[in-house]
Structure 1
Amino acid sequence: MEERKFDKNSLIGFLLIGGILLWMLYINQPEETAVDPDTTEQVSDTATTEDATTSAVDESVEPEVTSNAVTQGDSTAVQELQNRLGSFAYSGTLPSAKDATTTLENDVLRLEISNQGGYVVEAMMKEHTTYAGEPVYLIKDGNNEFNLQFSAENRLLNSKDLYFEPSLTQNGANQVLSMKLKTSANAYLEYRYEIKPGEYMLDFNIRSQGLEGVVDTSQPIYLDWKLKGYRHAKSITYENRYTRLTYEYEDEDFSKLSPSGEDDEVEKDVNWMNFRQHFFSSMLLTDTEFPEVAFSSEDLVKDEEVDTVYTKKYGAKMLLEPQAGGLSYNMNMYYGPTDYQIFKGYDRNLDEAMPLGWGIFGMINKYLIIPVFGVLSNWFPAGIAIIVLTILFKLLLSPVQYKQYVSQAKMKVLKPEMDEIRKKYEGNQMKIQQETMKLQSATGASPLKGCLPALLQIPVFYALFTFFPTAFDLRQKSFLWAEDLSSYDTIAELPFHIPFYGDHVSLFPILASIAIFVYMMMSTGQSMQAQQQPGMPNMKFLMYLSPLFMLVFFNNYASGLSLYYLTSNLITIGIMLVIKNVIIDEDKIHARIQENKKKPRKQNRFQRKMAEMMEQAEAQKKAQKK
């Protein structure tokens, strides 16, 4: 954050301005005047009329009206106000036409709703703090704008510039706030908010009454929502990666805008939208689909080295369809955690707003990993829950890993015979490959059999990769030296910034990298030469690449994810040692292979096709030599 410094000159300036204002208020004290409540030619106090005269909406027309003239009962000033606002000038003369807010709150959420515009100008989470220990604000200091744009009496008006009259009441245990933009005592546009105890979701309604002759429904009516997302996490880049605009449209279709650069999209029949800020969300949901919405997103984070206040700038301009009696939209607003369990409880497909992976990866997260981790986190601290979760999944996948290691052991036993084939047909790569495949087919050993079990583990590994960065239960939960498992674990600060690595050193990625290297040495290293055939990737290169990738790119990732990889690879190393030294007998495997050689082995369709292709290639090669 930018450091706020004390400015002596600004203080002197504010004192001088304050003195001038006090002097003007003293010499312009209003006289006691009887006022007809049905007219708008007299305004009750200076502050009210001063704000009212600046609340015009049509930005192309801004006639100058002084608050002093209205305060003194000058009918010309009121006429100017009426010329600008028409019937809505009535609201500009009410006591609410001043910069004030009304508090709407429960035990988890506090909202401040402004008279000007009638929308939320402050939203604070009561139970959550930022990485710096400050309260989490989703809305504050003008980062949010919520505007209804409509035509009335040949004027284009914006509700964000007009003044609403607040009325706060109780509906049982719920707080209800009615904000009315009036043209008369019984004709108004209303925003109605209702908040329930313990809920981040509140009811929100827009409706109009008695405005049939005022609001021009033949012209488009737009609800325009803009919000800049605040930074809440230690790593700007990491938080910004999971900060994204998502929405549902056209009967359970889901989409999102790009997390980088600038992006925009126009969609039909939108049900809800989420201005997601990694672990927190600002959402708008509607019972009546928006016929058309123009979405926009702009990435405000340009460099990890720059201390940025905001991450993304979001926008959604929604087309509203008025009913016969005017506007009537039943909606909901949500200001709270991006938590799967909370989202799932509303039964509105809100969990699709979370980056849990597509297809089978998302299903594994939703129906396996999240429920299991939810149970474990109720029994254990977050770090222990990750370790237990890892153990359970490694045990679940151990039969697959056993088959993988048996295949590797077979390839190791066959290595001397494969070396003989290479020596015998040296210089003829086609013949080497052909004879090697015959040997593998006869003995029932193949490098593909080692790869297939590994491929079966990928969906689970990828699902876990997407789960940990989005698990709200890990946020600000400590383990060992890691202060927050949802962020990186710093053991040393660097005096400079390294591209891709950062300006700090995280310990869990280092330990995980070492564990991965040991595992790669044990698994890939022992069969590297046996599997190194023409056309296959350089296994030695891969053996060094994986640990290096973990070391560099996971330095800024959630330490919970690095803890998982560390634990996973330590368990895998342990399982491999047990399989190798206790379960698998390589001498027995060798004897079984020799027995398999004596038996006629039927080739499958793929093997026959490959053999035919290689024989044809060999024949063509011989023909060319002739």
Structure 2
Amino acid sequence: MEEKKLDLNSVIGFILIFGILMFMLWQNQPTPEEVEAQEQAKQEQVEAEKKVEIENETIETSSEDFSVTSATDSLKLEGLKNKLGAFAYSSTLPSASNNETQVETELFDLKFSNKGGFLSEVRLKKFDNYDSLPVFLIKDKNIGFNINFGTTDSRSLNTQDLYFEPTITENGASIIVSMKLKVSDSKFLEYRYELKPDNYMMDFTIRSQGLSDIIDSSQAVDLDWKQKMIRGDKSVEYENRYTRLTYQHDGGKIDKLSPTGDDDDIEEEVTWLSYRQHFFSSILVTEKPFKTVDLVSQNLVESGDDEAQFTKIYTSKIPLELQGGELNAPLKFYFGPTDNTVLKQYDYSLDDSIPFGWGIFGWINRFVFVPLFGFLSGMMPFGFAIIVMTILVRIVMSPVTYKSYLSQAKMKILKPEINDINEKFKDNAMKKQQATMALYSKAGASPMAGCLPGLLQLPVFYALFQFFPSAFDLRHKSFLWADDLSSYDTIAELPFKIPFYGDHISLFPILASIAIFFYMRMTTGQQVASQPTQEGMPDMGKMMKYMIYFSPIMMLVFFNNYASGLSLYYFVSNLITIGIMLVIKNFIIDEDKIHAKIQENKKKPKKENRFQKKMKDMMEQAEQQKQIQNRKK
């Protein structure tokens, strides 16, 4: 009974204690003002902790950091200032809400990217591609144009991620596009473009104002220009052969990176850089030579890739100099055709970027074929201009053809006597050689005389091989069945692709191959008939017979994807040469008279010159040494 009372008392005691505690909590609860003060204190503590986290972050920038939405939030803006320092101001301007600034001139449709300040699109209004689409040198983010630099507060920034403020004004007939990366209204980095009327060259200046205490002069300030070259021709492989990075350096020297594969170089005192896409070029010119430029060319076209939209990637890394802590680089940009007539208008030898060939080949093109073709094409259609130029070239070269055929005729007449000498001295190679040379000397003939005229024609042959693929005037000019003399002609499309040949049939290369076959039948056949066979030497006659068939096949395959203007030239050239040789053979050269003259020459005493006498003495000494060795054996 007592235990039950004790348990009841314990329960009542716990209830009373709980009630007292609840009464005390109710009495001591905070007022509404105290609750609001506590919440505010907690919020301040959270914001203070976030601020500490921001200050402790590594200063790294990305394009997302500079978005307008981040600048509208005070907390994110504070973080932006910690990343960009003074340049955070540029992201708060109205221009940061727009992507592009558009400008149109007589020659260009241009777009400037507010983010980065560079030209993001360049369309040449007067030209179309092979598929009738507009010609774009810059489009769809195929360009990177960026200055990277360090700041005095230990940041590393890239202009391509920062917002520039655009301003468009007029200066007379010129349009001025100013893109400013601002620290304040009076402190900025500026890209200044001046577009002159009817001019493919624009002035482009990189300068800074009031940034000497912001840009760290102890760190490199580098301009990086990267551009993917947009395909513009029907045959991408053919176009890629003439797509090349060319540059002038060291007071006028012209050099190029490889057109067939990846290549790189570092050059000094560079005055201009040409990013050439066959018939169009993007060229950066500097008034003051760049001290050094790091150049890279990367090939993007694989063999058989007909669908490629880009041919190469060019990259140039250019250190910029600070003067008094500020940038001031007066430059120029050329965006336009790789046309000799247009490029020669400028005072920077930009026409040297056209692949006319090196040495004598380039001279022949520049001073003979370019002005000659320009004169002819100004009076007649371009196809007929090629034919007339071909006729003129073959007429000028006809004396060389005559000399070559005359030498072959002499060798043909002397062949029976050469065969007698070979039989007479078949066991004595030295005597046979001496007797053969004596016969040639008396007759006034030489086996090399037929080769020399051919060698004289090589510079002309190679010069024209370079001229036609580089002739901008032939672009999109039609003749007969060829729609474009600067590209291949097509008479049939194949349902499959033949390696090295292609997926189409071109008629001009077929005609040129037939013509070269008959030409070689005439010339090589004559040489085979006149060429003496030397013991121990390769059978040149057999090799020449192979060449009669091998050369036309090479022409047929190789030229199927080349410019139809070039195939037209070789077709007409070989036809004319065949005609000239028939005239020489049937109306000019009389083999009986040549034979009679040779016999008269043989009767005349022939005085040996110093060289011939020295060669004869050397051969006699060699013969004596051989006889001594044979006796010892």
TM-score of the pair, normalised by structure 1? 0.87
Distance 1:127 1:213 in 2: 46
Residue 530 of structure 2: aligned partner: 530
Mean alpha-carbon deviation: is it higher for 401-410 or for 279-288?
A: 401-410
Q: Which of the residues 586, 597, 604 maps onto 1:581? A: 586
Kept after mapping to 2: 8 A contact 1:418/1:530: no
- The answer to whether the Cα contact below 8 Å between 2:61 and 2:83 also exists between their aligned partners in 1 is no
Residue 166 of structure 2 corresponds to 166
Matched, 1:565 2:564: no
Deviations 1:241-283 (A, max 9, x none): 1111111122112221112332211112211101111111111
8 Å contact from structure 2 (residues 415, 532) kept in 1 = no
**In the aligned structure 2, how far is the partner of 1:61 from the partner of 1:544?**
63
CA distance in 1, matches of 2:109, 2:69: 36
| Residue in 2 that maps onto 1:604 | 609
CA-based RMSD of the aligned residues comes to: 2.1
Superposed displacement of residue 547, structure 1: 1.7
2:469 and 2:65 mapped to 1: Cα distance?
Answer: 53
Residue pair 1:260, 1:298 contacting (<8 A) in 2 also: no
Report the Cα distance in structure 2 between the residues aligned to 1:299 and 1:323, rounded to whole angstroms: 37
Alpha-carbon offset, residue 85 of structure 1: 1.3
* Whole-Å separation in 2 of the counterparts to 1:393 and 1:602: 39
Q: Is the counterpart of residue 143 in structure 1 residue 142 in structure 2? A: yes
String of CA shifts for 1:54-87, please: whole Å, max 9, x gaps: xxx975678969866754xx42222112111111
Letter of the 1:113 counterpart: F
Distance 1:291 1:386 in 2: 44
Instruction: Give yes or no for contact 1:230–1:309 (8 Å, CA) kept in 2.
Output: yes
Q: Do residues 376 (structure 1) and 381 (structure 2) align?
A: no
The structural deviation recorded for 1:625 is 4.6
- The residue number in structure 2 matching 1:17 is none
Change (3 A) 1:280 1:62: closer
Residues 530 and 624 of structure 1: is their aligned pair in 2 closer, same or farther, counting only changes over 3 Å?
farther
Could you tell me how far 1:490 is from its partner in structure 2? 1.6
C-alpha deviations, 1:490-511, integer Å up to 9, x for none? 2222222222222222211111
**1:493 maps to which residue?**
493
User: Could you say which residue in structure 2 is the equivalent of 1:545?
Assistant: 550
Matched, 1:118 2:117: yes
Instruction: Tell me how far apart the structure 2 counterparts of residues 311 and 109 of structure 1 sit (CA, whole Å).
Output: 23
Amino acid of the residue matched to residue 601 of structure 2? Answer: N
Q: Is the 8 A contact 1:196 1:202 kept in 2?
A: yes
Residue of structure 1 in register with 2:36 after alignment: none
- 1:556 and 2:594 matched: no
Aligned to 2:90: 91
Going from structure 1 to structure 2, the CA distance change for 1:620 and 1:499 (only over 3 Å counts) comes to: farther
Residue 35 of structure 1 is matched in structure 2 by none
The answer (yes or no) to whether the contact 2:148–2:223 under 8 Å persists in 1 is yes
Query: How far apart in 1 are the matches of 2:65 and 2:323?
Result: 36
Q: CA deviation at 1:621?
A: 4.4
- Given residue 85 of structure 1, which amino acid in structure 2 is its aligned partner? L
Q: Conserved in 2, the CA contact under 8 Å of 1:108 and 1:199? A: yes
Q: Identify if the C-alpha distance between structure 1 residues 412 and 470 changes in structure 2 by more than 3 Å, giving closer, same or farther.
A: same
The answer to whether the 8 A contact 2:281-2:338 is kept is yes
- Per the TM alignment, residue 231 of structure 1 is displaced from its structure 2 partner at its CA by 0.8
- % identical equivalent positions: 58
**What residue is the counterpart of 1:183 in the other structure?**
183
* Cα distance in structure 1, aligned partners of 2:67 and 2:454: 76
Structure 2 counterpart of 1:450, one-letter code: G
**Aligned counterparts, 1:276-295, within 5 A:** 276-295=276-295
Matching residue of 2:9: none
- 2:546 is matched by which residue type in structure 1? F
- Would the alpha carbon gap of residues 562 and 429 (structure 1) be closer, same or farther in structure 2, given more than 3 Å must change? farther
> In 2 relative to 1, CA 444–87 (structure 1 residues): closer, same or farther, beyond 3 Å?
same
The answer to whether the 8 A contact 2:101-2:112 is kept is yes
Within 1, Cα distance between the matches of 2:69 and 2:245? Answer: 46
Cα distance in 2 between the residues matched to 1:541 and 1:606: 36
Query: 1:79 maps to which residue?
Result: 78
Aligned residues: 568
CA distance 1:58–1:524, change in 2 (3 Å): farther
Of 589, 595, 600 in structure 2, the residue corresponding to residue 590 of structure 1 is: 595
Q: Is the 8 A contact 2:287 2:331 kept in 1?
A: yes
SS in 1 for 2:326: coil
1:560 offset after TM fit, Å?
0.9
TM-score by length of 2: 0.86
Is contact 2:63-2:161 (8 Å) kept? Answer: no
Indicate yes or no: 2:197 matched with 1:197: yes
Judged with a 3 Å threshold, the aligned counterparts in structure 2 of structure 1 residues 442 and 276 are, in CA distance, closer, same or farther, namely: same
Query: For 1:480, what is the secondary structure of its paired residue?
Result: coil
Cα displacement (A) at 1:554 = 1.3
CA contact (8 A) 2:408 2:530 kept: no
Q: Per-residue displacement from partner, 1:90-131 (whole Å, max 9, x unpaired)? A: 111111012432223322222211111110111111111111
Partner Cα separation in structure 2 for residue 66 and residue 255 of structure 1: 42
Moved more, 227-236 or 516-525: 516-525
TM-superposition CA deviations, 1:428-475 (whole Å, max 9, x none): 554443322221111101121111122111111111111111111111
Deviation by residue 1:213-242 (Cα, 9 ceiling, x = unmatched):
112222110111000001111111111111
Q: 1:604 to 1:163 in 2, by over 3 A?
A: same
Given the superposition, is the C-alpha separation of residues 213 and 469 from structure 1 closer, same or farther in structure 2, using an over 3 Å criterion? same
User: Counterparts of 1:482 and 1:603 in 2: how far apart (Å)?
Assistant: 58
Deviation at 1:572, TM superposition (A): 0.7
Instruction: State the AA in 2 paired with 1:270.
Output: V
Q: 1:513 to 1:63 in 2, by over 3 A?
A: closer
CA contact under 8 A between 2:204 and 2:332: conserved in structure 1? yes
Which region of structure 1 is more displaced relative to structure 2, 166-175 or 407-416?
407-416
Give the match for residue 30 of structure 1: none
CA 1:531–1:64: 2 relative to 1, 3 Å: closer
Counterpart of 1:228 in structure 2 is 228
1:524 aligns to what SS in structure 2?
helix
Distance in 2, matches of 1:302 and 1:219, equals 40
Contact 2:60 2:83 in 1 (8 A): no
Whether the aligned pair in 2 keeps the contact of 1:88 and 1:182 (CA below 8 Å) is: yes
Structure 1 runs not aligned, ≥5 long: 1-56
Instruction: Specify the alignment match of 1:333 in structure 2.
Output: 333
Distance 1:612 1:493, change over 3 A: farther
Give 3-state SS (helix, strand or coil) of 2:216's partner: coil
**Distance (Å, rounded) in 2 between the aligned partners of 1:523 and 1:544:** 13
The answer on whether the counterparts of 2:265 and 2:295 sit within 8 Å (CA) in structure 1 is yes
Instruction: Give the number of the structure whose alpha-carbon radius of gyration is greater.
Output: 2
| Aligned amino acid, residue 593 of structure 1 | I
Contact 1:532 1:539 (C-alpha < 8 Å) held by counterparts: no
Aligned partners of 2:66 and 2:161 also within 8 Å: no
Contact 1:105–1:195, Cα closer than 8 Å, also in 2: no
Report the alpha carbon displacement of residue 427 of structure 1 after superposing the two structures with TM: 5.4
**Relative to 1, partners in 2 of residues 1:274 and 1:495: Cα closer, same or farther, differing over 3 Å?**
same
Provide the rounded CA distance (Å) in 2 between the counterparts of 1:540 and 1:461.
Answer: 22
For 1:316 and 1:235, locate their aligned partners in 2 and report how far apart those are by CA, in whole Å: 27
CA contact (8 A) 1:488 1:559 kept: yes
Look up the match of 2:415: 415
Say which SS state the counterpart of residue 124 (structure 1) adopts: strand
Deviation at 1:136, TM superposition (A): 0.8
Query: Given that residues 291 and 321 in structure 1 are in contact (C-alpha distance below 8 angstroms), is that contact kept between their aligned partners in structure 2?
Result: no
Task: Write the mapping of 1:191-590 to structure 2, written as runs, cut at 5 A.
Answer: 191-324=191-324, 326-426=326-426, 428-534=428-534, 535=537, 537=540, 538-590=543-595
> What are the superposed Cα offsets for residues 287-313 of structure 1, whole Å, 9 maximum, x if unpaired?
022122111111000122441111001
